[in-house]
Amino acid sequence: MDKISDELIKGLIEISKKGLIALIIFIVGFKIINFVIKKLKKGKVFNKLDKTTSSFLLSIISVILKAVVIITCAGELGIPMTSIVTLIGSIGLAVGLALQGGLTNIAGGLLIMIFKPFRVGDFIDNGSSSGTVKEINIFNTVLATYDNKMIVIPNGNLSNTVVTNYSRYPERMIDIPVTVDYKSDLKLVKKVLEDIAKDCKFRIESKDILIALKEHSDSSLIYTFRIWVDNKDYWTARFELLEKIKTEFDKHNISIPFPQLDVHLDK
């Protein structure tokens, strides 16, 4: 009995040692990986790449290095390497079959990297979500909304849907529909709108201004007001123009109609 007890104690001690070493390798390995990734981010090689490519490559490197650490830990615990390889293959096959969406997301990420419909820093809209691209990882893309909320979208979804990229081109057109009363002086309306457009400090002077009567609606005339601005000035210019149009219309007694309903009661 004493001999059996001694063997059990020795076995437990050996297992404990291996487990402790494996745990140390795991903790230290992951800390080193995080340190390496941070250094690579600041390195000259990755600084030469655009943010989209560097973010995607760093994500892949991180996953590979963490897999190596986990395999090393398994080896330290005494699991034969052939068994580890077989286990990884089996798990990979099972996971691949069970999580086909994950493979779709990886493929989607590769398509995004190859064709570059958007990059880190672009403002995009996929129909259900919009925001500034912060990261493009293996499986997903991270957006930050205008009010600083984080949105995580699977790459498979982004590669298989219509994505509007508002940041791709340096210039952008502001298109504002302007409604006026049918009794308005059309020449005055057009002159006031043209003056507003010409006075806009954000306007790109080399681009044409378009002020035109677009539509006769049920209760108003609708003008199209179009000017071009730098992409970065789009919202500031748009908000300023909307306020200016209202101010100038009031100054010139140009009426902006609102929906109304006339009810006639017959006795």
Q: Output the CATH code of domain 171-251.
A: 3.30.70.100
Domain boundaries, the chain: 7-98, 109-165, 171-251
- 212-244 pLDDT per residue, tens: 999 998 889 999 999 999 999 999 999 999 999
Taking the model in full, what pTM does it have?
0.64
Q: What is the pLDDT of residue 241?
A: 97
Q: What is the pLDDT of residue 7?
A: 64
Q: What is the pLDDT of residue 90?
A: 65
66, 33 in Cβ contact below 8 A? yes
Q: Are strands 140-144 and 130-136 parallel, antiparallel or unpaired?
A: antiparallel
Q: What is the pLDDT of residue 84?
A: 61
Q: What is the pLDDT of residue 25?
A: 82
Domain 7-98's class?
Answer: mainly alpha
Q: What is the pLDDT of residue 248?
A: 96
Instruction: State which residues of the chain have pLDDT below 70.
Output: 1-12, 46-48, 50, 79-101, 259-264, 267
Q: Which long-range contacts (CB under 8 A, 24 or more apart) does 18-23 make?
A: 18/76, 18/77, 18/78, 19/77, 21/76, 22/73, 22/74, 22/76, 22/77, 23/73
Fold match between domain 7-98 and domain 171-251: no
Q: Output the CATH code of domain 109-165.
A: 2.30.30.60
Q: What is the pLDDT of residue 193?
A: 97
89, 119 in Cβ contact below 8 A? no
